[in-house]
Amino acid sequence: MTIIVRPESRRGSEGRVTVEKISRRAILKGLGITGGLVLAAPVMSRQALAAYQTGAGKMPHGTVVDPKVFVAIASDGIVTIVTHRSEMGTGVRTSLPLIVAEEMEADWSRVKVKQAPGDEVKYGNQDTDGSRSTRHYLIPMRQIGASARSMLESAAAKRWGVPVGEVKAVNHEVVHSASGRKLGFGDLAADAAKEAVPDVETVKLKDPKTFRYLGKGQVSIVDLRDITMGKAHYGSDTRLPGMKYAVIARPPVTGGKLVSFDASEALKVSGVEKVMEVKGWPWPSKFQPLGGVAVVARNTGAAIKGRDALKIVWDDGDNAKHDSVAYRAELEEAARKPGLVVRQEGDVEAALKSADKVITGEYYLPHLAHASMEPPVAVADVKDGKAEIWAPVQSPGGTREDVAKTLGIPEGNVTVNVTLLGGGFGRKSKCDFALEAALLSKELGVPVKVQWTREDDLRHDYLHTVSVERIEAGLDKAGKVIAWRHRSVAPTILSTFAAKSTHAAAFELGMGLVDMPFEIANIQCENPEVAAHTRIGWFRSVSNIPRAFAVQSMVGEIAQATGRDQKDMLLELIGSPRIVKLDSVKDLWNYGEPYDSYPIDTGRLRRVVEYVAEHGKWGRPVPKGHGLGIAAHRSFVSYIATIIEVSVSDKGKLTVHQVDTAIDCGTFVNPERIQSQIEGAAVMGLSLAKHGEITFKDGRVQQGNFDTFPVVRIDEAPLVTNVHIVPADADTPPSGAGEPGLPPFAPALANAIFAATGKRIRALPIGRQLEA
C-alpha cells in the first residue's frame, strides 16, 4: 500500500529566491513544492513510539510505505529488501534494510539488499543528503517491516486455521506456540504476498525492548566482503559492450565558453577515436554541464593523453579576473559594514556601546573541494529515445528528471542505476557528470563513460563557499556577555541556480548563524551581500563549517579574555536548559524538520558538552607543549561536542594526540556506523583545518591534485579518536550522523592550539601559521 499523498501548500517567501524547500535539488524546481506528490502529515503513525513528525513528507515525492515495493521473500526464505538511498560511505545501504529486517523478524544473515534505481514515484524521495535518511525513514522502514511481518503472520494463521493473535513471527519463521507448529518465511512467501497490506496507521510496531539489531552492537556493512575483494561496484566499474571512454576539457573559468579547438594532434594519439564539442549551459548553469571538448577513445588513458594534445581557445567570460586575494579583501570589507539583518533580539548597537569590553573576532574560511576518492564518473547508453545511466549519484530521482529534460525525452524512458559512490560529501548531489555522459552517448549512438580526472574534479567542483565571519561580543563589568553581533558574508549556493543571488538562502542562514543557541540578551545576525564568481555547492555540513568555527572560536577568545575555562565559558553562554525561541527569524530553516519535533534544545547541547567533558576527561593534565580545546555545535538536528588534545613542536609541527566526540543523534540504528562517521569527520575536519583551500587567480583554480590540495594522510591523522554516543530513548526522534561531526572539529582544534601555544588561529587553513 502506498500512503495517500496530497500536495501541501507552498510556504511563502519574500524577495529574490525562495529557499523553503528542504531538498537540495528542489531549488531547481521553481523553488517550491509544485509538482511532487507530497505525503500528508502526519507522516508517522502516532501510536507505538512514533510520537514525532519529520519533514519527510515535504521532500519531493514524500515517503512511500509499502512492503510490496520494498520487500520480497523467495521460496528459499531469502528476504530481499530494497534500499532506495545512495551509499556513499555512511552505511545507509545497511541501516535502512536493517530496520525493515528488525521489524519483520527477518534473520539478517538471510537478507539480501537490492539497490533501487531512480524512481521517486515508486520509492519516495531518494535525495541522499542533509543527513536525513535515518531520521526520515526510521519509522517508515519500521512500518514496512511490521506490515510484512503482519502479512506473514496472517498467511500462517490461515494455513493453520487459527486466530492470527495466536501466531507470532520470530527469527525468520512464524510460530504457533499452542501447537508447536512453525513455518519458515520461505514457506509462507507465496501466501503472504496475497495478503492485503495492513493499514500503516494501525500496524503494530515492535516494542524496542525486543530489538535484536537496532541500536545494538556492531553490524558490518553489507558490502564489506565485496569491498575487500575489489568486487564492489562503483560508478566507474560499469562496462558495456561497445562502450567508449571519454574525458572532457571544460572551460577553465566559470562562465567561460569554447571559441575553437584544434584536434589534429589529439587524433594522432593511439586509441583516440573522436574529438567533439560538448554542449554547455550559460552560467549559472545549475546542474547542467559546463560544456567543452570531449575526447573519445578506446580506453581512459588514451582519452586523457588525447585531451592533453588538444589546442583550445576559450572565451573566459565575466569571471576572468576572479582572484581569491582580492575577493578575501572584498569579503572582509563587507563584513565590517552593516548588512541585511536576519536575526534581532534586544538592541545590539546600544549594548555594544555600553559594554565594558568588546571582543572582536574576524574569521576567514576558504573554498573547499569535495575531493571524494572516486572523481565524478558516469556511464550512459542512449538509444531509440531511451536512456540508461549508471552513476554514483546522491540524487537518483533528480538525475532521472535532469537526464530526461536534457535529452528531451519522457522521464519514463530514463533508467538511472545507482552504483556505490566512492565518496559523495554533497558533490554527487549534482549530476552534471551524468548529463555529460548522456549527451555524448546520444551523439555517438554507443554507450559512453565520462571519467573526470582529479584535476577536473578540483577545478570544476561545486565548491564549498568561502566566507568571512565577524563576531563582536560585548561584555559587562562582571565578564558576562551582553551583546553578540555576528556578520556572515559568503557567496551563496543560490548563485549556482539564480544569477545575481548575493544573500544567503534561509537554509544557509539556518546552519549556525541565526540558530546560534547562546543565552544572550542582545543578539544580532547580519548577512552582508556578495557576488559569486564560481559554482558554489553543498559540502558535508555546508555553512555550519564557517559558522561553528567562528562561534566556537569566539567562545575560546572570550574565555581567554576573561580568564575562564573554555568548557565553563561554553556552558555559561549556552545558558539554561530551554527550548530556544527564534521569533525574530523570518523563515527559520530547521533542516527541514518541524520545530516541535526537533527544537533547539539547549539542555541537550549542554548534555553533550558535559558528556564529552566527562568521557573525554576535560581538564586532565597534559604534557608541556600540549593543549586541550573544546567546541560544541548543533547541526542536522543533532548535538555534538568535541575535545581535542594537540601539541605543537618548536618548529610548528602540529600533532593531534586525541579526539573525543560526543554525539546525541536521538535514537539510532547502527552505532558502528555512527562511530565510523565521527572518526571520519575528525580526519576531514583536520584536513580542512590544516590544509584545505581552493584559490583562484585569473579566474582559474590554482590547485590541481592532492599535491596542491592536500588532505590528511594516515601519518598526520589523529592518533586516537574516541566516539561517545549519548544514549537516547527510543522515542527521541532520530537525527543526523553523517555531517554533524564535522563543524565542531576545526574550532576545537583552534582552541586547543591556543591552549598549547597562545596562538589564535583565525584563518583557515592553518598551513604554515604555526611555524612563525
Site residues (CB under 8 A) for another protein?
87-91, 218, 220-221, 223-225, 227-232, 234, 236-237, 239, 245, 269-271, 298-302, 304-305, 371-375, 420-425, 451, 453-455, 672, 676-677, 679-684, 705-707, 711-715, 717-718, 720-721
Q: What is the distance, to the nearest Å, from the Cα of residue 597 to the centroid of all Cα atoms in its chain? A: 21
Between 62 and 423, CB nearer to another protein: 423
Report the residue number, 544 or 721, with the smaller CB distance to another protein: 721
Minimum CB–partner distance for residue 131 and another protein (Å): 15
Shortest distance in whole angstroms from residue 74 CB to another protein? 25
Closest contact distance (angstroms) between CB of 363 and another protein is 24
User: DSSP states of 608-655 as a string?
Assistant: HHHHHHHHTTTT----TTEEEEEEEEEETTEEEEEEEEEEE-TT--EE
* Shortest separation between residue 678's beta carbon and another protein, angstroms: 10
Of residues 425 and 618, the one with the C-beta less far from another protein? 425
Cβ proximity to another protein, 451 vs 488, nearer residue? 451
Q: Residue 391 in contact with residue 379, Cβ under 8 Å? A: yes
- Helices 544-562, 745-757: axis angle to 10 degrees equals 30
The full DSSP string for 125-194 is: -----TT-HHHHHHHHHHHHHHHHHHHHHHHHHHHHTS-GGGEEEETTEEEETTTTEEEEHHHHHHHHHH
Give whole-number Cα distances, 699 to 11, 332, 344, 490, in Å: 38, 20, 37, 18
Nearer to another protein, 198 or 718 (CB): 718
Q: How far is the CB of 707 from another protein (least distance, A)?
A: 5
Nearer to another protein, 251 or 422 (CB): 422
CA distance to 41, 143, 202, 332, per residue, from 199 (Å): 16, 10, 6, 57
Tell me the closest approach of the beta carbon of residue 9 to another protein, in angstroms.
39
Contact 111, 172 (CB under 8 A): no
The least distance separating another protein from the CB of residue 490, rounded to whole angstroms, comes to 23
Task: Annotate 267-295 with three-state secondary structure.
Answer: HHCCCEEEEEEECCCCCCCCCCCCCEEEE
As measured in angstroms, the least distance from the Cβ of 421 to another protein is 6
Residue 186 C-alpha cell reads as 520461505
Give all strands (DSSP E) within 185-330, no chain letters: 244-249, 257-262, 272-278, 292-297, 311-315
**Biggest CA-to-CA distance, the chain:** 83
State which residue, 111 or 688, has the beta carbon closest to another protein.
Answer: 688
Which C-beta is closer to another protein: that of 45 or that of 451? 451
Q: How far is the CB of 427 from another protein (least distance, A)?
A: 11
Query: Is 689 strand, coil or helix?
Result: helix
Choice between 160 and 213, CB closer to another protein:
213
Give the nearest distance from C-beta 271 to another protein in angstroms. Answer: 6
**569-594: burial string, b at 16+ Cβ within 10 Å, e else:** bbbbbbbeeeebebebbebbbbbbbb
Q: Shortest Cβ distance from residue 311 to another protein (Å)? A: 21
Entry field: residues in the chain: 772
Query: What is d(CA 732, CA 462) in angstroms, rounded to the nearest whole number?
Result: 35
Cell, residue 751:
582552541
Looking up cell 540578551 gives: 521
Scanning 484-633, the segments in alpha helix (DSSP H) are 506-509, 544-562, 566-574, 602-615
Nearer to another protein (CB atom), residue 89 or residue 361: 89
- Residue 28 or 749: the one with the smaller Cβ distance to another protein is 749
Residue 268 Cβ vs another protein, minimum distance, rounded to whole Å: 11
Cβ proximity to another protein, 329 vs 373, nearer residue? 373
Calculate the alpha carbon distances from 150 to 43, 64, 200, 556 in Å: 20, 18, 11, 55
